[in-house]
Structure 1
């Protein structure tokens, strides 16, 4: 019939509904994959660095998701009428997830991260310069922009109302600040240091270096030392 809306398409694998005639709708559908992508990033960083700070942030992220699951079933507010999916919509889990991530990133970079400049005396040219406050602020703003765009996309795709997205964002902020405070208390009281000395933490080689140095710093210094010893990395000539 004339005037009927165009049929929606389902983004492969995720089944996120979007309007195939609308490029913005497709872009929003890809933004819906951000939480899954961030989980992959979390898991990769935890496995590759064994940094307890990253692991604790991920634990907070999962706790925030559990809170969202409980709130949805407590409030039981339906999604917009135009939505073709299932489940409750208050608060928005996507908005809550990405807001927790962006606020946690900003709090770490601007409050907890205290990097020191490391210089290898055997290789003066290899001075390691950590991110400046301005650079960390820029990353924080970029993270907040990505979170805001993802949250907006949920309204554009009719998965949530503005009220549901705002509720998710506010819950994400409160959860991130609360979790950051809990981890800070664990650090201040020595419980985190104690935990890192337990057999299971030692078995998994957990460490707590990222607060004071960039993740690549220690590995880079080892590489520079080896490079200098081998002749500054210059190819041998006959």
Structure 2
């Protein structure tokens, strides 16, 4: 329990505004869009989780590009210094500048990079199964829809203008193409050497670039190992 003297301190209190998104009271559409606008935070949390548990070099590179994209956004904002629309309408904003939209830039970077990964990195063969192609197309549509909805939410909630989210989308798309090309041409050939570093082996960092379907590979290897161990255990019990 806080002491009485502590409660009387005349300190200026600041809010943690990472997820502080405001919407008009009683506006269901605004409330829904406010939750949708939290998509970039969910993506960053997902990346951190994947890196901790998978420790795969391409995932680390993807996240590195996302961080670089954030740095470019901060740089452009502080160079252009274009104010947000309806200044003063929100109690908490992370920065007073609005061009380009950070949410829009991050979402379009993620969507465009993922689109390139699905159709260029995961090589599509002539004998690919119908369901394999279907989920790839559906996922691409979902990525595009997510980027559009997050961008629209920033305009609807009066955090940005249409031009600010448009420039954010263009900047994120350009960064995604550039980083994908850099990863493919420069980083990917270096991944086997990086994975062989002592520090990488210590941290269990791995390179799965040459495995076309990592989910299926991990499933089959895990299943085979589990059956092998079960067979050995059954032999010992006899």
CA distance in 2, matches of 1:13, 1:157: 16
Contact between 2:77 and 2:100, CA under 8 Å: does it hold in 1?
Answer: yes
Matches within 5 A, 1:81-92: 81=86, 83-84=89-90, 85=93, 86-92=95-101
Q: Secondary structure at the match of 1:16?
A: coil
Matched, 1:199 2:204: no
Q: Which residue in 2 is equivalent to 1:75?
A: 80
Q: Which residue in 1 is equivalent to 2:164?
A: 164
Any gaps of 5 or more consecutive residues in structure 2? 1-14, 232-238
Q: Against the structure 1 CA distance between its residues 23 and 226, is the aligned structure 2 distance closer, same or farther, given a 3 Å change threshold?
A: same
What is the TM-score normalised by the length of structure 2?
A: 0.79
Q: Give the CA deviation at 1:210.
A: 5.5
Contact between 2:123 and 2:212, CA under 8 Å: does it hold in 1?
Answer: yes
Q: Give the CA deviation at 1:130.
A: 10
CA distance in 2, matches of 1:152, 1:222: 43
Q: Which residue in 2 is equivalent to 1:136?
A: 136
Matched, 1:20 2:29: no
Two-structure CA RMSD over aligned residues (Å): 2.6
CA distance in 1, matches of 2:221, 2:190: 30
Matched, 1:61 2:66: yes
Q: Give the CA deviation at 1:224.
A: 2.5
Any gaps of 5 or more consecutive residues in structure 1? 1-9, 117-128, 232-238
Q: Against the structure 1 CA distance between its residues 93 and 220, is the aligned structure 2 distance closer, same or farther, given a 3 Å change threshold?
A: same
Q: Which residue in 1 is equivalent to 2:54?
A: 49
Contact between 1:112 and 1:211, CA under 8 Å: does it hold in 2?
Answer: no
Number of residue pairs the alignment of both structures matches? 209
CA distance in 1, matches of 2:73, 2:152: 18
Contact between 1:93 and 1:168, CA under 8 Å: does it hold in 2?
Answer: yes
Q: Against the structure 1 CA distance between its residues 41 and 210, is the aligned structure 2 distance closer, same or farther, given a 3 Å change threshold?
A: farther
Q: By percentage of residues, which structure has more helix?
A: 2
Q: Against the structure 1 CA distance between its residues 26 and 201, is the aligned structure 2 distance closer, same or farther, given a 3 Å change threshold?
A: same
Q: Give the CA deviation at 1:131.
A: 6.3
